[in-house]
Structure 1
């Protein structure tokens, strides 16, 4: 179940100036030189309860030997208000080995409450985000160019029906080499509970394109070794894009 958190993090900071009907980004997941899985994010303009909204659909799955040893097929969906970038509805569908979990959660920010199909209704902290929207909310409400190394923001965040604080820090700027060229990036660092998977709570690094505001490289310091997410392709309405 903890592995689903890593897959969720892969969608961190994808492009925010959505002008097309659909953007699609694909990653390869690697342990060292070996490919262990794939991740795909689709971003779509939509309407929710009569208001402009953005729908994020994230699919993460194992491949090859990893699929045979421990099959993972996780889907995260979040619909956010196009103006506030706060979540309106989330769907979490997890299939990991023999484990299954499905839940839908609805957010009511006018009275700081949610309704979860698994746990029912309850009051929550103001401006609660979920594990997907927390990162989009960060890049839309913070001017990273004005942040100093080490600056960050902490948000109340719900994941798997549990609420905890997630902090996101700006570390530095860096030029990184990817399969589709060199990219000027911001290096960002979320701080979460390390649990049984991460080696330490700050063991994740996102290298986000400064121009496109999408991640091109992500590293995870895990107890079993280093996991890397490397961008494979990025399309807008089916047309291949560049990141720099």
Structure 2
């Protein structure tokens, strides 16, 4: 994987870590009828390394049936942008079906295209039997199907994102830490989240008051420091992910919200 592809992969990993870490204790989760998101919402992000824009990502929410059950359909498309496409073509896509009744994952799919490297993952969540089924295809070769058993509720990247939007931050105090387990890329993780209060943030979508949070991550060789990832969530009715900043071993990278439309509250910002 080239330098730029590694950087993009780390940015997407940062987003997943924040999303997963924010699936907090049920006491701070709003009821589903109070959801801060609606079908039709589209968010646009820029991926930056220092002063340079190296990629972009689009996230949209719709409603569809999965196995005759009502679900939220989430799709993220991301890849290189501008002149970097000539040197390091990245074109990734993630899709998920998430239960409307409890925001638990039902099925997720990823299609990764990074230069000559291709990979497809299909993950099925059976919340009744507490079993996960994973099907992988790498470079056109199907891998053996694997199964994972778990206890309690289980979230993944995409469902974690919706829960991120649904947390009642007013119940958290500065320094509060929430820990929980999550499943991502064939591994069960013990994540944590530290709430750091609110601050005014200048963003591409205007100056906004934002909730500041930092995930506690397992030891790894990608990020540096005790709290290498920081995220800012708009402290308004929409609770949009405004910015994610990651301290990595080769520098600082960020994912910044630059446009949104069809949000539940307020006008579009293009």
The one of 127, 144, 154 equivalent to 2:153 is 127
Higher mean alpha-carbon deviation, 106-115 vs 72-81, is at: 72-81
Structure whose residues are more often strand by fraction: 1
Aligned to 1:25: 43
Secondary structure of the corresponding residue to residue 128 of structure 1: coil
Task: Find the aligned partners of 1:55 and 1:30 in 2 and give their Cα distance.
Answer: 27
Q: Give 4+ residue runs of structure 1 displaced > 4 Å after superposition.
A: none
- TM-score, length of structure 1 as denominator length: 0.86
The one of 224, 227, 231 equivalent to 1:199 is 224
Secondary structure of the corresponding residue to residue 148 of structure 2: strand
Match runs of 1:10-89 below 5 Å: 10=15, 12=19, 16-19=35-38, 21-89=39-107
Greater RCO between the two (CA within 8 Å, min separation 6)? Answer: 2
RMSD of aligned residue pairs (Cα, Å): 2.6
Residue 213 of structure 2 is aligned to residue 218 of structure 1:
no
Verify the 8 A CA contact 1:18 1:45 in the aligned structure 2: no
Residue by residue over 1:146-183, the C-alpha shift from the partner in whole angstroms, topping out at 9 and shown as x without a partner, is 11112232232222222212223321101111122111
Distance 1:201 1:4, change over 3 A: farther
Residue 183 of structure 2 is aligned to residue 146 of structure 1:
no
Structure whose residues are more often helix by fraction: 2
Aligned to 2:117: 99
The one of 5, 9, 19 equivalent to 1:4 is 9
Distance 1:5 1:88, change over 3 A: farther
Q: Which structure 2 residue ranges, 5 or more long, are not aligned? A: 23-33, 137-144
Task: Find the aligned partners of 1:53 and 1:235 in 2 and give their Cα distance.
Answer: 21
Secondary structure of the corresponding residue to residue 197 of structure 1: coil
Verify the 8 A CA contact 1:70 1:96 in the aligned structure 2: yes
Aligned to 2:142: none
Q: Which structure 1 residue ranges, 5 or more long, are not aligned? A: none
**Per-residue deviation at 1:95?**
2.1
Aligned to 1:115: 133
- TM-score, length of structure 2 as denominator length: 0.78
